[in-house]
Chain A
């Protein structure tokens, strides 16, 4: 029993002398686990959308989408993960100028991706480009809009996240040792990117094109 009490007292002593550093490290571990649990949860949402796609279309059909645009927006999104990584590395090295440039570049890539999807796939601005799918005519339009829409919602929230982090860094938040805000923003961005790696083939590559007369 004496040994136990000693350990407990040591623990208590440790607790009392908790420097800010220990608290931050413990909180950081919890934050990371929490974020990854959130990703696991979200994976079921995106998995459900993929299941919907295969349930309604089967593995052998897909709608006619603009392959060039698809390839461009996918490449832009993949490259944005690189710039995000460069931004995070810059913060780790304390290079705030490079951080600002790369994280804003990431947001710009994100905006280009969104623009490509909204203008060309959704046909949201018929003045620029007349889209060939609507959400309400058939199951192809419905699923394309559901999947790209849910993904776009995440890209938009990622861009908002980036702008908040950029603004905080501009005002002097974060340090090379402590930048959970930057780290979480970066992981979130990569995650949204990874989701697209599953969505892109499901929408653009798997199955044969089906032509449906206007309803």
Chain B
């Protein structure tokens, strides 16, 4: 087998060929128009756009569409490639949603490790005061890259959960648009390459890239803008596909309120991703144009009379947070959906208040559009806006509270068992509670004015994201692992992972908040030992390493168990959900016959009830 028969390799070759061609084209164009040959902003931007297209052409993510434009029909190919080993399908364009889901999930996990490692680098620097080994510029680059790589990993992780599970859960053969699905995955890869290349050039304003700082920094910014724009495009196309799939491809009898609850969470997430993502794309595009062409969107220009005829930096904050706050709900809603999905299975009880939980996801998504200004309490906008955004933000606590009470109601009186997925679900609830309770303190303008830009915000954010995404993501990995591989993970290692990571995270989160209230600013490489936060900072760093170590245990567990784990059988968790009624691992065509929904999804413990009927099989 030749190496170039792997789509990924061809894509990477296409990337660098495209980069060279694009850069050369810009240089030639500049010379043709009588400008100096080299302008790093223009040449790099032109080169990288061409590189991303080169990757997509190389990997073959657009070949079917290009054939369509010439009137050539392209039937969907099913199954692994005929002339290559079966594993190669994971390294090239494949239209099966299960393959794409694994591609998303594994890439997401890989980026989580990369992004986490960046955090360990600068956490080591922060363990004591004074500059030890990271100079300020390098520190800023690592800090900023930690954020975007981790955020990309979350978006890809969600893509993994959604693409793998949604068609299975609604008994569909595949996603509505399989080619678009593959395309939406593959454009992430050149974006990630571009993001990582930006590290060589540096960028130093944190993930928010506020102007005017982001207009002045090194050319690495342009790469970040382009990379995030591309990842955003993937979000939009992926969520469009998921919405159509869920609205149009449900089986007979599955009304919206009989969907597995995770589908509701994904639906709410997709609505945000479909729409709000455009605003960060636009904001970064405007920054990119302001840098390369000097279009004054965000930089003020004063004329002779002292009137501003240029832009306003605060406009960027509005555009940026219009996406980036709802994005937090994009990150946590699927995770909260996983919690609601798993608890009834391990409590052997119906999900408490199904309809309320379903609608609370939608409510969080919709209220999420109205709260972006709470990131800007100290920005200097009109003071009355603080009140508006404070009230709308506090409103989010209502649907979130609905979810918490549903979880408690589901657990209450249940016959609980505690395998690793259940432990991570409970861990997620505990961690999300820390994040949730610290939220109103920041949502209240009066307290936020003191806590803004401190480690309190860092602690709150990480508790929210770990509780809302990372813990549920790990729960989901352990829970669906037997369905994906057909084998059971190692329970001892799974529990070890949990008991290292959860106390480690509690410690880290509470220590970060403590440091914040003691006056520790975020995003700085050095701090005054007189603040008295050195011991707390050391704790945070140690806890960070413990968490990282525990995640390595999980990855080891996942790799080895795929070979030596005991065979899991079709339904080790005795779940009622459709995907557990078919063989593990799931065959190429998931459902041999269409399914029909004949009951409620979560009636665990109700004698004689069933959720789905498999046509013909009859052996529920």
The residue in chain A whose Cβ has the minimal distance to the Cβ of B241 is: A34
Taking a contact as CB atoms under 8 Å apart, the answer to whether B594 and A45 are in contact is: no
Taking a contact as CB atoms under 8 Å apart, the answer to whether A48 and B319 are in contact is: yes
B265-288 interface mask toward A, CB cutoff 8 Å, 1 = contact, 0 = none?
000000000111111011100100
Within 8 A of B (CB), among A114-156: 135-143, 145-146
Taking a contact as CB atoms under 8 Å apart, the answer to whether B275 and A145 are in contact is: no
Contacts of B616 in A (CB 8 A): 8-9, 12
* Complex partner residue of B274 from A12, A29, A30, A41, CB under 8 angstroms: A41
Within 8 A of B (CB), among A45-86: 45, 48-49, 51-52, 55-56
In the complex with contacts A34-B244, A52-B297, A215-B309, A5-B594 CB distance below 8 A: no
Taking a contact as CB atoms under 8 Å apart, the answer to whether B311 and A7 are in contact is: no
Contacts of B593 in A (CB 8 A): 8, 12, 15
* Complex partner residue of B275 from A1, A44, A52, A173, CB under 8 angstroms: A44
Taking a contact as CB atoms under 8 Å apart, the answer to whether A135 and B293 are in contact is: yes
Question: Is B587 among interface residues, defined by CB-CB distance under 8 A?
Answer: no
Contacts of A55 in B (CB 8 A): 312, 315, 318
* Complex partner residue of B598 from A4, A26, A146, A212, CB under 8 angstroms: A4
Taking a contact as CB atoms under 8 Å apart, the answer to whether A45 and B71 are in contact is: no
Question: Is A22 among interface residues, defined by CB-CB distance under 8 A?
Answer: no
Contacts of B318 in A (CB 8 A): 51, 55
Report the bound CA distance from A4 to B360 in whole Å: 32
Report the bound CA distance from A167 to B71 in whole Å: 9
Contacts of A143 in B (CB 8 A): 297
In the complex with contacts A44-B276, A45-B281, A30-B252 CB distance below 8 A: no
Taking a contact as CB atoms under 8 Å apart, the answer to whether A138 and B309 are in contact is: yes
Report the bound CA distance from A163 to B319 in whole Å: 35
Contacts of A164 in B (CB 8 A): 69
* Complex partner residue of A145 from B276, B295, B618, CB under 8 angstroms: B295
Chain B proximity of A115: nearest CB distance (Å): 20
Question: Is B566 among interface residues, defined by CB-CB distance under 8 A?
Answer: no
Question: Is A198 among interface residues, defined by CB-CB distance under 8 A?
Answer: no
The residue in chain B whose Cβ has the minimal distance to the Cβ of A15 is: B594
Taking a contact as CB atoms under 8 Å apart, the answer to whether B311 and A56 are in contact is: yes
Contacts of A138 in B (CB 8 A): 296, 301, 309-310
Report the bound CA distance from A55 to B596 in whole Å: 52
The residue in chain A whose Cβ has the minimal distance to the Cβ of B245 is: A30
Taking a contact as CB atoms under 8 Å apart, the answer to whether B71 and A171 are in contact is: yes
B337-369 interface mask toward A, CB cutoff 8 Å, 1 = contact, 0 = none?
000000000000000000000000000000000
Taking a contact as CB atoms under 8 Å apart, the answer to whether B282 and A48 are in contact is: yes
In the complex with contacts A44-B278, A45-B282, A135-B295, A146-B289 CB distance below 8 A: yes
The residue in chain A whose Cβ has the minimal distance to the Cβ of B599 is: A4
Contacts of A145 in B (CB 8 A): 295
**Size range of the interface on B?**
35 or more
Taking a contact as CB atoms under 8 Å apart, the answer to whether A37 and B274 are in contact is: yes
Report the bound CA distance from A132 to B294 in whole Å: 17
Contacts of A56 in B (CB 8 A): 297, 311-312, 315
In the complex with contacts A8-B252, A11-B615, A34-B240, A142-B278 CB distance below 8 A: no
Contacts of B244 in A (CB 8 A): 30, 33-34, 37
Contacts of B598 in A (CB 8 A): 4
Taking a contact as CB atoms under 8 Å apart, the answer to whether B275 and A136 are in contact is: no
In the complex with contacts A7-B252, A171-B71, A45-B297 CB distance below 8 A: no
Question: Is B83 among interface residues, defined by CB-CB distance under 8 A?
Answer: no
Contacts of A4 in B (CB 8 A): 596, 598, 613
B288-315 interface mask toward A, CB cutoff 8 Å, 1 = contact, 0 = none?
0110011111000101100001111001
Chain A proximity of B284: nearest CB distance (Å): 12
SS class, residues of chain A in contact with chain B? helix
Chain B proximity of A58: nearest CB distance (Å): 11
**Size range of the interface on A?**
35 or more
In the complex with contacts A49-B282, A52-B319, A40-B247 CB distance below 8 A: no
Contacts of B286 in A (CB 8 A): 52, 146
The residue in chain A whose Cβ has the minimal distance to the Cβ of B283 is: A48
Report the bound CA distance from A43 to B244 in whole Å: 18
Chain A proximity of B51: nearest CB distance (Å): 20
The residue in chain B whose Cβ has the minimal distance to the Cβ of A13 is: B615
Question: Is A101 among interface residues, defined by CB-CB distance under 8 A?
Answer: no
Taking a contact as CB atoms under 8 Å apart, the answer to whether B247 and A146 are in contact is: no
Question: Is B176 among interface residues, defined by CB-CB distance under 8 A?
Answer: yes
Chain B proximity of A198: nearest CB distance (Å): 15
Contacts of A24 in B (CB 8 A): none
Question: Is B243 among interface residues, defined by CB-CB distance under 8 A?
Answer: yes
Contacts of B289 in A (CB 8 A): 135, 146
Report the bound CA distance from A138 to B297 in whole Å: 9
Contacts of B312 in A (CB 8 A): 55-56
Taking a contact as CB atoms under 8 Å apart, the answer to whether B248 and A173 are in contact is: no
Taking a contact as CB atoms under 8 Å apart, the answer to whether B613 and A212 are in contact is: no
Question: Is B508 among interface residues, defined by CB-CB distance under 8 A?
Answer: no
Contacts of B311 in A (CB 8 A): 56, 139, 142
Chain B proximity of A53: nearest CB distance (Å): 11
Within 8 A of B (CB), among A154-208: 164, 167-168, 171, 173
Question: Is B573 among interface residues, defined by CB-CB distance under 8 A?
Answer: no
In the complex with contacts A12-B616, A146-B286, A30-B176 CB distance below 8 A: yes
Question: Is A213 among interface residues, defined by CB-CB distance under 8 A?
Answer: yes
Question: Is B177 among interface residues, defined by CB-CB distance under 8 A?
Answer: yes
Taking a contact as CB atoms under 8 Å apart, the answer to whether B248 and A33 are in contact is: yes
B459-481 interface mask toward A, CB cutoff 8 Å, 1 = contact, 0 = none?
00000000000000000000000
Contacts of B303 in A (CB 8 A): 212-213, 215
Question: Is B158 among interface residues, defined by CB-CB distance under 8 A?
Answer: no
Taking a contact as CB atoms under 8 Å apart, the answer to whether B278 and A7 are in contact is: no
Question: Is B27 among interface residues, defined by CB-CB distance under 8 A?
Answer: no
Report the bound CA distance from A48 to B598 in whole Å: 45
Report the bound CA distance from A213 to B594 in whole Å: 70
In the complex with contacts A37-B274, A45-B278, A142-B297, A52-B615 CB distance below 8 A: no
Report the bound CA distance from A26 to B282 in whole Å: 34
Report the bound CA distance from A51 to B279 in whole Å: 11
Taking a contact as CB atoms under 8 Å apart, the answer to whether B282 and A136 are in contact is: no
Taking a contact as CB atoms under 8 Å apart, the answer to whether B293 and A37 are in contact is: no
Question: Is B236 among interface residues, defined by CB-CB distance under 8 A?
Answer: yes
Contacts of B596 in A (CB 8 A): 4, 7-8, 11
Report the bound CA distance from A45 to B274 in whole Å: 11
Contacts of A51 in B (CB 8 A): 318-319
Report the bound CA distance from A123 to B118 in whole Å: 48
Chain B proximity of A209: nearest CB distance (Å): 14
Taking a contact as CB atoms under 8 Å apart, the answer to whether A139 and B279 are in contact is: no
* Complex partner residue of A52 from B180, B249, B276, B315, CB under 8 angstroms: B315
Taking a contact as CB atoms under 8 Å apart, the answer to whether A139 and B310 are in contact is: yes
Report the bound CA distance from A136 to B295 in whole Å: 4
Report the bound CA distance from A21 to B484 in whole Å: 34
- A sample of 15 more A-B contacts (CB under 8 A), given A52-B297, A138-B296, A168-B71, is A8-B614, A9-B615, A11-B594, A12-B594, A26-B248, A33-B244, A34-B241, A34-B244, A37-B240, A42-B278, A48-B319, A135-B295, A139-B296, A142-B290, A215-B309
Q: Sample 19 A-B pairs with CB under 8 A, ordered by A number.
A: A5-B618, A7-B596, A11-B252, A29-B248, A30-B176, A33-B244, A34-B176, A38-B240, A40-B275, A41-B278, A45-B282, A49-B282, A56-B315, A135-B289, A135-B294, A139-B296, A146-B289, A168-B71, A212-B309
Residues of A within 8 A of B (CB): 1, 4-5, 7-9, 11-12, 15, 26, 29-30, 33-34, 37-38, 40-45, 48-49, 51-52, 55-56, 135-143, 145-146, 164, 167-168, 171, 173, 212-213, 215
Listed from nearest, the 3 A-B pairs whose CB atoms lie closest are: A136-B294, A142-B295, A44-B278
